A and B are shown apart, each in its own frame.
Chain A
């Protein structure tokens, strides 16, 4: 009897440990982030413990020679996972070849600049006690990094701090954007605000409070900013003043960054577990067309010259033309598409979650060209 009680106790303890550990994993888990270099030859994928450097031509991983290995090793950052780092934000690329990304782990809160050719760290932004949840913005010779502590950090590209501006009481989850001239930086916050910041000194030029949390970055659409909220409202704001030009109420929640083609704004929504994709007239906010989808659409679309491509939570990649007519579609088994598709050269790159590979590349007719599996 005593023995059975002891077995029972230890079984309970083991069960408790398994349940607690399984459900509260220490690293902050989220969908991957990615960015392509200016000439569209390399894609940098931030996924879990690494930032991968993948060649767009064939999906192979770039390698680097190290003193520790007789043969070249994958040029990942870091070269060896230490368990403390976790990367999920879209990396920022500078014109002088640096890759900038913050760690979203609960234990390592460092923002890194590294050289993709060697993976050596060039400089860091010191720990701010909060994970870096989103990507940074580079304008000319400065980087603007939104922190998990609600601050926007401005650094020179050599790692000198220029200013720190308090934006929100909450973690900043959306990457900042700027207008064509780089006059203002625009950020959105979970506490319902759109903030325009002067890049020279970090002082807010204007702040607008919307109805609900904003999760996607603003889209720059001509002289407007277009932002969607969790309540499904799509707002068009004047870039210079923040004044509202129009608001459109869509069905479902808006999670992503809208796309813009010069006349229409494109955005998908989350309607419980289904989704809806909209084309909205940028001049007046009227819906031009909409399409129901079986899967939720959390990520913003990719807008090319003649097609709009979006991913769904059911692993589908859908391409439509500007009238909403389907052009092609592809489905990745059991995968979820939460990361916006990316155009690198003439390839559409997607980063599915829960797939057997980390990246897939399609040509503009929807033919899969390669997949990337981390070895």
Chain B
């Protein structure tokens, strides 16, 4: 399974990343450019996911939906049947909002792995890297030949992309993980800005969004703190591009940024056939 994943996703991604590196000569910029490219390629999936989520939110805020919730409060089976009926009538699939995420996940994980492998900070990792560079890569540009690619210039700005990043400040007894802090902040901002408003501030969806707004920044902060800083560059770029993508679609919820409760509920929508 791991091999198929490598062959289909990780290795092509890693070679694309190395090819960009061969042209720009800076691994940090290569990560940034490739992250933007991957986000653009997966943009249609993201649009579909947003549309599906919005449709679901509108449906759940509709009077019809609220009525069947109230009416079948004590009968879970009947409630499920009614919900399925409404989904069918409105042409909404509850899994439409999940499917694009499912498709994006292996891409993002594969991209993450390709960064780790391309940096190659130990001989063992370099052995793996050398074996997965496509022989035809140097036909595209001589800068993509093995002798030109290795060693990868892993220095970017003040950091070594193959190592966790910390900045030592004179007088302070500890180093500051600047990049990890930026990862945490941008993840928090992205999550807050892009969470779609829920039907009711007390519903489980709102609580889930609120938890996501807390857990994701902490999780990614932890990764950025402990793993190669090349990953932190990826996380930050991905977060910023994600915000830009949502903004371009008019889906950024600026009012949520400094609001620490559940997202503001939407006014109840009249139910209607999904266009």
Contacts and interface: CB of A to CB of B under 8 A. Distances in A.
State yes or no: do A and B come from one complex. yes
A130 B160 contact: yes
B105 A23 contact: no
A19 B10 CA distance: 13
Looking at chain A, what size class is its interface with the partner chain? 35 or more
A61 B150 CA distance: 40
A338 B151 CA distance: 20
A3 B212 CA distance: 15
A15 interface: yes
B151 A191 contact: yes
> For chain B, what secondary structure do more than half of its interface residues adopt (helix, strand, loop), or is it mixed?
helix
A291 interface: no
Given A9-B208, A213-B150, A231-B147, A29 B160 contact: no
A16 B109 contact: yes
Interface string B105-121: 10001001100100001
Contact of B204 (A6, A272, A298): A6
A5 interface: yes
B163 interface: yes
Contacts of B127: 255, 270, 298
A106 B163 contact: yes
B105 A16 contact: yes
A5 B99 CA distance: 12
A181 interface: no
A259 B130 CA distance: 24
Contacts of B155: 169
Nearest to A26: B226
A24 B112 contact: yes
B83 interface: yes
Given A30-B122, A106-B164, A20 B130 contact: no
Interface in B114-148: 116, 121-127, 130-131, 146-147
B180 to A, nearest CB: 13
Given A3-B204, A16-B109, A23-B116, A31 B227 contact: no
A8 B105 CA distance: 13
A273 interface: yes
B131 A272 contact: yes
A364 B117 CA distance: 39
Given A13-B219, A24-B116, A272-B131, A29 B123 contact: no
A230 B208 contact: no
Contacts of B208: 2, 5-6, 9
Interface in A204-256: 211-213, 215, 230-231, 253, 255
A16 B94 CA distance: 22
B124 A338 contact: yes
Interface of A is mostly: loop
Interface in A328-346: 338
B77 interface: no
A190 B112 contact: no
B205 interface: yes
Contacts of B231: 24
A212 B147 contact: yes
B62 interface: no
Interface in A71-123: 88, 104, 106-107
A6 B153 CA distance: 42
A12 interface: yes
B215 interface: yes
A19 B226 contact: no
B245 interface: no
A212 B146 contact: yes
Closest 5 CB pairs of A and B: A190-B151, A30-B122, A212-B147, A2-B204, A24-B227
Interface of B: 83, 94, 98, 101, 105, 109, 112-113, 116, 121-127, 130-131, 146-147, 150-151, 153, 155, 160, 163-164, 203-205, 208, 212, 215-216, 219, 223, 226-228, 231
Given A5-B208, A6-B208, A255-B127, 6 more contacts: A15-B105, A20-B227, A23-B112, A255-B123, A270-B127, A298-B123
Interface of A: 1-6, 8-9, 12-13, 15-17, 19-21, 23-24, 26, 28-31, 88, 104, 106-107, 129-131, 133, 169-171, 173, 190-192, 211-213, 215, 230-231, 253, 255, 270, 272-273, 298, 338
